[in-house]
Every structure is written in C-alpha cells, then in structure tokens.
Chains A and B, each alone.
Chain A
Amino acid sequence: MRKRLAEQEESAIDLTPMLDVVFIMLIFFIVTAVFIREPGPEVIRTDTETDVRQPRIAVLIAVTADNEIWIDNREIETNAVRAIVERMRAENPNGSIVIQADEDSDSGVVVDVIDQARAAGAPSIAVATLND
C-alpha cells in the first residue's frame, strides 16, 4: 500500500517534450518577426490585374486623398521623405519600398515620393494595389 502511494507522488507529467515544441515555436516567431511600421491612414487602393506580391517590405509610405504623406503614423513633408526613408532602410537594406497611394491622390505627389525614395537608394519601389 505504501509503495503505491509513493508511485502516485512521482507520477508528475514530463514537461520536456512540450518545452521542446514551445521553444521551437518561440524561435520561429522570433526569426519571422519583422517590425514593419505602418503608416497609419487607410487608403482606397486601385484594383489591378498585373500586381505581384511584395515579399520584403522595408518601408511603407501612405499618400492620402488629401495628398498628405504619412510614414510611421506621422504626417511629413515631401522633402523630408528621403531622410526618413534612408534612416528606416538602414534596418532592412534589401527591403523594397511600398507606397500606399489613394485612388484620388494627385499623381504628382506620388511621383515626388517615388523620386525621393529612389534618391534614398531603394532597390525597388512599388505602388500598393487592392489585395484580392
């Protein structure tokens, strides 16, 4: 009888396999974690057919219908885009730059932003389209 009690006391669940799984999940999430700073405002995107998925995004820039330029939840001036993009690209040098341009924004403003991003040395610049 006593012996059986002792056996029951020792029947703690072995947590090691669960710990292994949890560690692997943890490492996966740490490795895939990319902290992209979203621009803030929601824009109305254009529906297109030849768009491609943008795999590595370093910087997101939004241009609203009122022609305001937003990066990282702040509204900025056109000539400040280059400096900010250069600074943000330092964290992810191979990432592309995606411009979320509203349908009703002026193309002149968007082209100015593209030129500023190009001057900052971005390898590829894309305009975001409707995600379907």
Chain B
Amino acid sequence: MKRRIAREGDETEVDLTPMLDVVFIMLIFFIVTATFIREKGLDVLRPDNNEEQTENNNVAIVIAVDGNNDIWVEGRIVDVRAVRANVERMRADNAESPVLIQADRTANTGIVIQVMDQARLAHAPAVSIATVE
C-alpha cells in the first residue's frame, strides 16, 4: 500500500502529448496558409497638375505612345530600345527635366511599361504617365 502511493506520486508529471498534438496541428495550418508572395514592380507616378505650373523652368521630355503602340519622340516614331538613347540625349541638355509618357488610352500597358523602364534606365529623375483620349 505504502509503495503504491509513493510510486503514483512520482509519476504525476503532466502529460504533454495532447498539447503537442494541438500545437502541431496549428503549426501545420500556419505553414500551409503561409503565402510568401513575391512581387516585383515599377512604381508609377501620375503628373500633378499643380506642380506642372510651378516647375516651368524644367521642360518635360515628352514621349507619346499612340493607339497603334507606336512610340513618338520629338515627332519621330522610334523603337522601344531606342527610347533610352533618346532620353539620355535629351537629358544632356537639362538633366533635371522629368519624363512624361503620354499614352493613348488604347495603347497596350506592356509597351507603356517598357517605355517607362527605358526612361528609368536613362536615369530620368521622375517618370510619370498621362493618358490622352
């Protein structure tokens, strides 16, 4: 009798197994629901009407994209890959001039983003997108 009581007293450790089960299930739930979304992207700027009037000394470099996805710089149609060179050349005159992309509403987003990428490659300080009807 005495011996039994003594042994039971020794064994009164808390059984952690059920808690471990619960914790494991929670762990699996959070691992499964964890979505590590990795997105790369370009920050887009929209021209501010108020700023345009105050910064008249810096004339913007205007690149137009028309509805046929042709890119126009200074009245000429240029290739996407030539945009960077053109922007660099025009920035040589005035390094602070921002770049404004005037996209037709029906122009493809892909072309507009590529033009934006090229202008950023030419280290243009601010590249913004405007749309025209």
Contact = CB atoms under 8 A, between A and B. Distances in A.
Interface of A: 15-16, 18-19, 22-23, 25-26, 29-30, 32-36, 38, 44, 46, 48-54, 57, 60, 63, 98-111, 114-115, 118, 124-132
Contacts of B42: 48, 50-52, 126-127, 129
A36 B37 contact: yes
B58 interface: no
B30 A30 contact: yes
B93 interface: no
A29 to B, nearest CB: 4
Contacts, number: 149
Interface string B4-35: 00000000000011011001101100110111
Interface stretch (B49-57, B70-78, B106-114): B106-114
Contacts of A29: 27, 30-31, 34
With a 10 A CB-CB cut-off, give which of B19, B44, B105, B112 has the most chain A CB atoms. B44
A19 B23 contact: yes
Interface in B72-128: 103-114, 116-117, 120-121
Question: What 3 A-B pairs come out closest when comparing CB atoms?
Answer: A108-B105, A103-B110, A126-B41
B70 to A, nearest CB: 14
Interface of B: 16-17, 19-20, 23-24, 26-27, 30-31, 33-35, 37-44, 46, 65, 103-114, 116-117, 120-121, 129-131
Contacts of A53: 38-40
Contacts of A18: 20
A111 B110 contact: no
A121 B52 CA distance: 21
B46 to A, nearest CB: 6
Given A22-B24, A33-B30, A52 B35 contact: no
A77 to B, nearest CB: 17
Given A25-B27, A46-B110, A106-B105, A36 B40 contact: no
5 contacts: A35-B33, A98-B41, A110-B109, A111-B103, A124-B43
A26 B26 contact: yes
